[in-house]
């Protein structure tokens, strides 16, 4: 069984020379951004295959832009939480030295999140008002700024960013950050994004509802002979159909490329597309002597295999999650609970 011993975990962090953190949606849950799977996850009520795949984009770009705009709205309201801050601090050599960890270790944060909150947690430390620089009296503000900028370069956002837009014209492919919310005028009136994305009700719910309605049909004395009278009414009478999708937005009204005027797409990585920075990520994972896995169900490839790779190559693995996840029994440490509480506590 994995250990829950915090002191032992700190000793492992202290001796690690190549630290990789793998983060998922649970890292940002305390910032108010819902996770994907689980009872209140985004994929519980929205159909991922209709929203985050190249095929869905080919079918209806306006549906995908509605989804991306909804995610932008949600993420624009969020700020980094205590878990983002704990990882930001751990990524700085001066802080590691202060905490008794190796200042000369290399630290990489690989995040599946598209919310940019890990980078923003580092940016926040740059502001003199944060008071952070006053804590490190032995390091000059210039050195701290340099450390923060280096740490930002080591935040690898493997599923891209919600703020990226990429030109779809093959000859252009211009990519830029666009922080507009709404991202274009046509998306200003945020339609009910669940319309048309909703998953079909499961059989049990549908049949149970149909039964209730069937039972309310007045019984004819001949019902026993005419069993068809007792047949459940058609589903359209149950009111359980998904809401009607809003009409598509004309392509010319969707976000356009600043360079060539063609349609742009949201820059996050969809299912079936290659994750970003993979050469660097594989190099870091292969080298890692410690992998800290935070708030991910570890079900989506290629990230799903990182912890196992580190173990196979002799490194240690520590998992921080609200609940048990696939493969965590093979980890060296398991800290079950909210990472925004447990990570700052465990890292000291």
E-strand ranges in the chain read 18-23, 106-111, 155-157, 164-167, 175-177, 264-266, 290-294, 316-321, 333-336
* Contact flag: residue 11 with Zn ion (CB under 5 A): no
Residue from 87, 275, 310, 318 in contact with ligand BJW (CB under 6 A) = 275
* Contact flag: residue 339 with ligand BJW (CB under 6 A): yes
**Catalytic residue list contains 84:** no
Q: How is the beta sheet containing 164-167 ordered, strand by strand? A: 175-177, 164-167, 264-266
Nearest to 284 by CA among 97, 89, 153: 153
* Contact flag: residue 114 with ligand BJW (CB under 6 A): yes
Minimum CB–partner distance for residue 42 and ligand BJW (Å): 7
Nearest to 284 by CA among 95, 111, 146, 161: 111
Inter-residue contact 110 to 295 (CB < 8 Å): no
Residue from 46, 197, 297, 331 in contact with ligand BJW (CB under 6 A) = 297
Pick out residues in 35-94 that bind ligand BJW (CB under 6 A).
35-38, 41, 52, 71
Nearest to 181 by CA among 257, 71, 105: 71
The residue range among 131-139, 161-169, 224-232, 289-297 that interacts with Zn ion, by the rule CB under 5 A, is 161-169
Catalytic residue chosen out of the listed positions 84, 159, 174, 301: 159
Label residue 180 left, alpha or beta by phi (over 0 means left) and psi (-120 to 50 means alpha). Answer: beta
Minimum CB–partner distance for residue 45 and ligand BJW (Å): 13
Q: Which residues bind ligand BJW (CB under 6 A)?
A: 24-26, 29-30, 35-38, 41, 52, 71, 112, 114, 159, 268-269, 271-275, 295-297, 299-302, 320-323, 325, 338-340
Q: Which residues bind Zn ion (CB under 5 A)?
A: 167, 169, 172, 174, 257, 259-260, 262
Active site residues: 159
């Amino acid at each position: 069984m994995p250990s829950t011993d915090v002191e032992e975990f700190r000793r492992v962090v202290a001796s690690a020379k190549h630290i990789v953190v793998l983060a998922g949606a649970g890292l940002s849950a305390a910032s108010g951004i819902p996770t994907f799977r689980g009872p209140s996850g985004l994929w519980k009520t929205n159909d991922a295959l209709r929203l985050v795949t190249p095929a869905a984009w080919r079918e209806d770009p306006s549906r995908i832009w509605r989804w991306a705009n909804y995610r932008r709205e949600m993420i624009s309201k969020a700020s980094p939480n205590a878990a983002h801050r704990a990882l930001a601090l751990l990524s700085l050599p001066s802080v590691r030295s202060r905490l008794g960890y190796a200042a000369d270790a290399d630290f990489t944060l690989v995040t599946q999140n598209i919310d940019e909150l890990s980078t923003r947690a580092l940016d926040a430390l740059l502001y003199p008002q944060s008071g952070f620089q006053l804590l490190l009296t032995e390091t000059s503000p210039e050195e701290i700024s340099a450390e923060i900028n280096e740490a930002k370069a080591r935040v690898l956002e493997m599923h891209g960013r919600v703020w990226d837009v990429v030109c779809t014209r093959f000859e252009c492919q211009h990519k830029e950050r666009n922080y507009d919310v709404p991202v274009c005028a046509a998306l200003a009136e945020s339609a009910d994004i669940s319309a048309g994305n909703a998953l079909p009700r499961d059989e049990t719910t549908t049949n149970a509802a149909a039964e209730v309605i069937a039972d309310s049909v007045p019984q004819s004395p001949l019902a026993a002979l005419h069993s068809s009278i007792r047949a459940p009414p058609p589903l359209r009478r149950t009111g359980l159909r998904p809401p009607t999708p809003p009409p598509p937005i004309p392509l010319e009204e969707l976000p356009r490329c600043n360079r060539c005027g063609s349609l742009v797409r949201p820059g996050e990585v969809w299912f079936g597309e290659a994750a970003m920075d993979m050469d660097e990520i594989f190099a870091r994972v292969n080298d890692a002597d410690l992998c800290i896995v935070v708030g991910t169900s570890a079900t989506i490839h290629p990230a799903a295999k990182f912890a196992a790779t580190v173990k196979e190559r002799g490194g240690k693995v520590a998992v921080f999650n609200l609940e048990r996840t696939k493969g965590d029994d093979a980890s060296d440490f398991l800290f079950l609970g909210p990472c925004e509480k447990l990570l700052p506590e465990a890292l000291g």
